[in-house]
Amino acid sequence: MRVVVTGAAGMIGANLVHGLNAIGVDDVIAVDDLGDGGKFRNLLGASISDYFDRRDFYERFAAGELGKFDCVFHEGACSDTMEQDGRLMLDLNYRASKTLLDACQAQGVRLLYASSAATYGGSASFREEPEFERPLNVYGWSKLLFDQVVRRALPGAATQIAGFRYFNVYGPREQHKGRMASVAYHTFNEWQATGRVKLFGEYGGYAAGEQRRDFVAVSDVVAVNLWFLEHPEASGIFNLGSGRAQPFNDVAAAVVNACRGAEGKAAAPLEKLVQDGFIEYIDFPTTLAGKYQCFTQADLGRLRVAGCDHVFADVAQGVAGYVAWLQRQPS
């Protein structure tokens, strides 16, 4: 099997490459922008057969210059939800994706691609239907725009097209993401630096640290992508989250208890961690008011109807494993 992974040096892309290798797929063409050269570390130990810069790949792929492929995993995007350059966002997240979709359909190549839960924005419901799609920023809109193209293409599609609306993904190989890295990653680093972690206080009708998101481990994201690789009959747009909303307090407590556990200290409940000053709350930033999702939870109904019965890790299990991985990395 010969596949492409765009965004291959990014968090999800790199984990996908390693996941593909683990099931015996090593003819992997990696595509990315390594202007941040340090991202190469995410692909250390992986087996790839070629590498292309994103500026060269799309046109050459569309022209059929790169040979025959079985599947493209399209993870490449500008994922900074705070980016305000709409031209950049539409070029990277919409136009490049549409070019790729058209080429895949013309060449009979399957396309599994990254959408985003940001397409729901201010909605209180998270089902893959237009009435719930209310993006709050140009990033979410760029992802929705491509999803709409896919919806129009699906009835006449020659090969599999599956889009995944990723919720709050955390896990290995996200260190390059800066401010866009997961809460789990930032919380771990804050604990390592200061011996305490800070969360937002009361906001949006939620008590301190109780704003809730659907946190999903990147290992689960990879597992679902690989399930679709093995089931070419499954097409559509699907939520990819754990299906459960958990508070930021759960993430902080999981990180703190995992770190303390590595020192031989017993786990403590949230109340005790707050009482002892290990978890603190700060005022909600005014700059985020009106732009912040206080609640997300993937409706997994469509994923289950497709036949994917993958069991997702909860925060306690997933974050503990992630902290253990982080602690094994070189400083």
pLDDT band at 29 (very low <50, low <70, confident <90, very high): very high
- Concerning whether 177 is annotated as a catalytic residue, the answer is yes
pLDDT band at 289 (very low <50, low <70, confident <90, very high): confident
The catalytic position among 113, 120, 139, 322 is 139
Helices 248-262 & 183-194 angle (0-180, nearest 10): 50
- Concerning whether 143 is annotated as a catalytic residue, the answer is no
Sequence-distant (≥ 6) Cβ neighbours of residue 173 within 8 angstroms: 10, 11, 14, 15, 42, 218
Q: Identify the pLDDT of residue 122.
A: 84
Q: Identify the pLDDT of residue 79.
A: 73
The catalytic position among 51, 98, 177, 292 is 177
Per the CB < 8 A criterion, the answer to whether 114 and 164 are in contact is yes
- Lowest mean pLDDT, pick from 18-27, 76-85, 108-117, 192-201: 76-85
- Lowest mean pLDDT, pick from 3-7, 164-168, 205-209, 284-288: 284-288
Q: What is the distance between the alpha carbons of residues 143 and 257, in angstroms, rounded to a whole number? A: 36
- What pTM, to 2 d.p., does this model score? 0.95
Q: Share the mean pLDDT of the chain.
A: 95
pLDDT(249) > 80: yes
Distances (CA, A) of 168 to 257, 260, 271: 21, 25, 25
Percent of the chain with pLDDT strictly greater than 90: 89
pLDDT in tens, 108-163: 999 999 999 999 998 999 999 999 999 989 999 999 999 999 999 999 999 999 99
Closest CA to 196 of 110, 277, 291, 299: 277
What would the mean pLDDT of 151-180 be, rounded to a whole number?
A: 96
Q: Identify the pLDDT of residue 80.
A: 74
pLDDT band at 190 (very low <50, low <70, confident <90, very high): very high
Q: Identify the pLDDT of residue 59.
A: 94
pLDDT band at 293 (very low <50, low <70, confident <90, very high): confident
Q: Identify the pLDDT of residue 283.
A: 96
Q: Identify the pLDDT of residue 78.
A: 74
Mapping DSSP onto H, E and C, the string for the chain reads CEEEEECCCCHHHHHHHHHHHHCCCCEEEEEECCCCHHHHHHHCCCCCCEEEEHHHHHHHHHCCCCCCCCEEEECCCCCCCCCCCHHHHHHHHHHHHHHHHHHHHHHCCEEEEEEEHHHCCCCCCCCCCHHHCCCCCHHHHHHHHHHHHHHHHHHHCCCCEEEEEECEEECCCCHHHHHHCCHHHHHHHHHHHHCCEEEECCECCECCCCCEECEEEHHHHHHHHHHHHCCCCCCEEEEECCCCCEEHHHHHHHHHHHHHHHCCCCCCCHHHHHHCCCEEEECCCHHHCCCCCCECCCCCHHHHHCCCCCCCCCHHHHHHHHHHHHHHCCC
**More confident position, 163 or 180:** 163
pLDDT in tens, 55-83: 999 999 999 999 999 999 999 987 777 77
Per the CB < 8 A criterion, the answer to whether 69 and 20 are in contact is no
Q: Identify the pLDDT of residue 72.
A: 98
pLDDT(331) > 90: no
pLDDT(89) > 90: no
Structure tokens at 292: 């912040």
Structure tokens at 154: 């699906």
Q: What is the distance between the alpha carbons of residues 274 and 20, in angstroms, rounded to a whole number? A: 41
